Amino acid sequence: METWVERHEVFSGPIFTVYTGQARLDDGQTARRDMVAHRGGVGIVALHEERVLLVRQFRLAGGAAFEEIPAGLRELGEDAAACAARELAEELGYAAGRLLPLATYRTSPGFTDEVTAIFLALDLTPTTANPDWDERLHPVELPLAELPDALAAGRFEDGKTLVGLYATLAWLARGGR
Amino acid sequence: METWVERHEVFSGPIFTVYTGQARLDDGQTARRDMVAHRGGVGIVALHEERVLLVRQFRLAGGAAFEEIPAGLRELGEDAAACAARELAEELGYAAGRLLPLATYRTSPGFTDEVTAIFLALDLTPTTANPDWDERLHPVELPLAELPDALAAGRFEDGKTLVGLYATLAWLARGGR
């Protein structure tokens, strides 16, 4: 177990805040620790007519475009499932008849408290897409039958996309539908 | 595509550096962007005598202990496979006869450039464990046969552990060994 002896904020922005300080370890020694406190978000694996609905999006932090499951940041106090339904509508223009929790995980617990909750969206019906003004999203559809080969070939580079797609295949293999 | 119009460093520590600035979007508009530049690291799925070798470790950023695959940060200029071999020896005390690349992915490309490379370590022989002085690691072994149920039950909360274990099951299902 580690506890902060002292920490102070060194940066705060709309998405994350950065802290640095000293932590006490199990044996009483102290060590420097830096961390990023993050708002957290959701990802949605959307299945529609035997296809997975993805978005291609340029990521400045990654310096490239990535194929990702639809995703977004949680608003303050927003329930994860409500956030997933909102992002599915905004980014892809669908409403889900069923929204099942697939995985809730830490993206990189060595330096950030960011938690991502992933949902499986089924029984989709069209609404109207309405991305945030500074998002540039390009829809991509992948036949579900091609998903195992696409994963094995290393097509997806985004963590939440890998976790969500692998968890979906495991859920289907266990008889989910 | 987005490009930085200007950015400046607001924090720099041993593991990550934080930048804030303005980016130009596809249509010429600008938007604020903050990012965390991270050294990146590796994770290792170690299979030994039909068991997966994990470590339980308290994470200050997560505020709890997590079961994780062995992992570590890359030294400057260090090759990912060399880093994986070093961390496998340091954290678990094994050398791998075979070290196969399983996945290289972005942990959270919306705010950080962190890349994690995951390897599958096979044909293990004992050496001597030697964790970093400020790491407190507790080895955990899981029978490979129990892995699908453990994943379905939500036992693992760490992203690289989920990606690594799911990718290992997929590799085994495709006839790997």
The residue type of A28 is G
Which one from B2, B9, B135, B157 is the annotated catalytic residue?
A: B135
Q: What is the pLDDT of residue A136?
A: 79
Q: Is 80 exceeded by the pLDDT of residue B133?
A: no
Looking at per-residue pLDDT, the higher value among B77 and B43 belongs to B43
The alpha carbon of residue A126 is apart from the nearest alpha carbon of chain B, in Å, by: 26
Reported confidence tier of residue B95, pLDDT bands at 50, 70, 90? very high
Mean pLDDT of A130-147: 88
Q: Pick from A15, A23, A170: which is nearest to B151 by CB? A: A170
Reported confidence tier of residue B27, pLDDT bands at 50, 70, 90? confident
A36 and A114 in contact (C-beta within 8 Å)?
yes
Does the beta-carbon distance from B110 to A14 stay under 8 Å?
no
Does the beta-carbon distance from B61 to A154 stay under 8 Å?
no
User: If you measure CA to CA, which chain A residue comes closest to B158?
Assistant: A106
The alpha carbon of residue B65 is apart from the nearest alpha carbon of chain A, in Å, by: 8
The residue type of B105 is Y
Mean pLDDT of A58-81: 94
Q: Work out the percent of chain B whose per-residue pLDDT is above 90.
A: 86
The answer for B154, left when phi > 0, alpha when psi is -120 to 50, beta otherwise, is left
| A110 chain-B contacts, CB cut-off 8 A | 15, 41, 59, 61, 71, 73
Q: What is the pLDDT of residue A66?
A: 95
What is the CB-side half-sphere exposure of residue A54 using CA atoms within 13 A?
A: 25
- With a CB cutoff of 8 Å and minimum separation 6, the contacts of A146 are none
Reported confidence tier of residue A10, pLDDT bands at 50, 70, 90? very high
Q: What is the pLDDT of residue B26?
A: 82
Average pLDDT, chain A: 95
Q: Pick from A29, A58, A105: which is nearest to B157 by CB? A: A105
Reported confidence tier of residue A110, pLDDT bands at 50, 70, 90? very high
Does the beta-carbon distance from B106 to A62 stay under 8 Å?
yes
| A63 chain-B contacts, CB cut-off 8 A | 113
Eight-class DSSP state of B74 = P
Q: Pick from A1, A14, A159: which is nearest to B163 by CB? A: A159
Q: What is the pLDDT of residue B167?
A: 98
Q: Pick from B13, B103, B157: which is nearest to A154 by CB? A: B103
Q: Is 90 exceeded by the pLDDT of residue B7?
A: yes
Q: What is the pLDDT of residue B134?
A: 75
Q: What is the pLDDT of residue B10?
A: 98
Average pLDDT, chain B: 95
Q: What is the pLDDT of residue A169?
A: 97
Q: Is 80 exceeded by the pLDDT of residue A134?
A: no
B156 and A103 in contact (C-beta within 8 Å)?
no
Q: Which residues of A participate in catalysis according to the annotation?
A: 135
Q: What is the pLDDT of residue B165?
A: 98
| A61 chain-B contacts, CB cut-off 8 A | 33, 35-36, 109-113
Name the one residue in this structure whose structure tokens are 């079961």: B67
Q: Is 80 exceeded by the pLDDT of residue A131?
A: no
Reported confidence tier of residue A154, pLDDT bands at 50, 70, 90? very high
Q: What is the set of domains in chain B, with CATH numbers?
A: 3-37 (no CATH), 41-173 (3.90.79.10)
Name the one residue in this structure whose structure tokens are 């339904």: A85
What three-state secondary structure class fits B158?
Answer: strand
| B157 chain-A contacts, CB cut-off 8 A | 104-106, 109
Output the CA torsion sign for B139, B145, B151, B154: negative
User: If you measure CA to CA, which chain A residue comes closest to B174?
Assistant: A152
| B162 chain-A contacts, CB cut-off 8 A | 103, 105, 163, 166-167
Q: What is the pLDDT of residue B172?
A: 96
- Please name which of B161, B158, B150 lies closest in space to residue B62, comparing C-alpha atoms: B158
Mean pLDDT of A103-118: 97
